Chains A and B, each alone.
Chain A
Amino acid sequence: GAVVSQHPSRVICKSGTSVKIECRSLDFQATTMFWYRQFPKQSLMLMATSNEGSKATYEQGVEKDKFLINHASLTLSTLTVTSAHPEDSSFYICSARDREGTGELFFGEGSRLTVL
């Protein structure tokens, strides 16, 4: 199947700093990527839909100035957590749908963010 790579897998940062997480589709083009946040033992909460060449669509309650999303190419989307605080600590997962495929959603490995 298609491969989605997410980097970094783990990051620890100080409160007030910004962290960038990358999501790449390695062997297919993805016009749309999705960013999720997952708390321990909970479900995947959709944060935003990242569209190549246009602005991301954020879900209700997600601060767009806090979670900056850029989808500059058909294979790369980035999520930047700006001015991170301890409550931003979470597991962030991206996913992508193969533009030419059957609609299956492929997930990245996830990024564990810890804000001290």
Chain B
Amino acid sequence: GENVEQHPSTLSVQEGDSAVIKCTHSDSASNYFPWYKQELGKRPQLIIDIRSNVGEKKDQRIAVTLNKTAKHFSLHITETQPEDSAVYFCAASFWTNTGNQFYFGTGTSLTVIP
């Protein structure tokens, strides 16, 4: 099955700096890689995702890169703000029209220091 590793487990940055979170996965069949943000006591929310036929995707201050061959994918947050503080999870999934499972990384607790 799929195994997703995520680093670092905790990350502190100064407001305005960039934050990078990295994940690796093991199953080459995985073709969908979402990133979720979870604030304390709340549900995870999708913030960005990328499919295996794309190498990079950007949405305002958030970007995700994917190295399909190396099975690496990363989340980049620029110009960080205190409200970016949360736990971030990467996930890998083999998506088809009939169904799929999502395998999550261990999470990164991001703290943005004002």
Shortest Cβ gap from B62 to chain A (Å): 16
Which one of A41, A105, A110 contacts B46 once the chains associate, using CB atoms below 8 Å? A105
Q: How many A-B residue pairs have CB under 8 A?
A: 51
Q: Is B18 an interface residue (CB 8 A)?
A: no
Establish whether residues A103 and B100, one from each chain, have CB atoms under 8 Å apart when the complex forms: yes
Chain A residue numbers with a CB within 8 Å of B32 are: 103
A110 to B100, CA, bound (A): 21
Establish whether residues A103 and B43, one from each chain, have CB atoms under 8 Å apart when the complex forms: no
A103 to B109, CA, bound (A): 26
Which one of B43, B100, B105, B109 contacts A107 once the chains associate, using CB atoms below 8 Å? B43
A106 to B102, CA, bound (A): 12
Taking chain B's interface residues, is the majority helix, strand, or loop, or is none over half, making it mixed?
A: strand
Instruction: Give residues of chain A (79-99) contacting chain B, Cβ–Cβ below 8 Å.
Output: 93, 95, 97
Shortest Cβ gap from B52 to chain A (Å): 12
Q: How many of B's residues come within 8 Å of A, CB to CB?
A: 26
Establish whether residues A43 and B89, one from each chain, have CB atoms under 8 Å apart when the complex forms: yes
Establish whether residues B93 and A93, one from each chain, have CB atoms under 8 Å apart when the complex forms: no
**CB 8 Å contact bits of B83-108 with A (1 = contact, 0 = none):** 00001010101010001111111110
Which one of A1, A104, A108, A110 contacts B49 once the chains associate, using CB atoms below 8 Å? A104
* Residue on B nearest A112 in the bound complex, by CB: B41
Q: Which residues does A use to contact B, with CB under 8 Å?
A: 1, 31-32, 34, 41-44, 46, 49, 93, 95, 97, 103-110
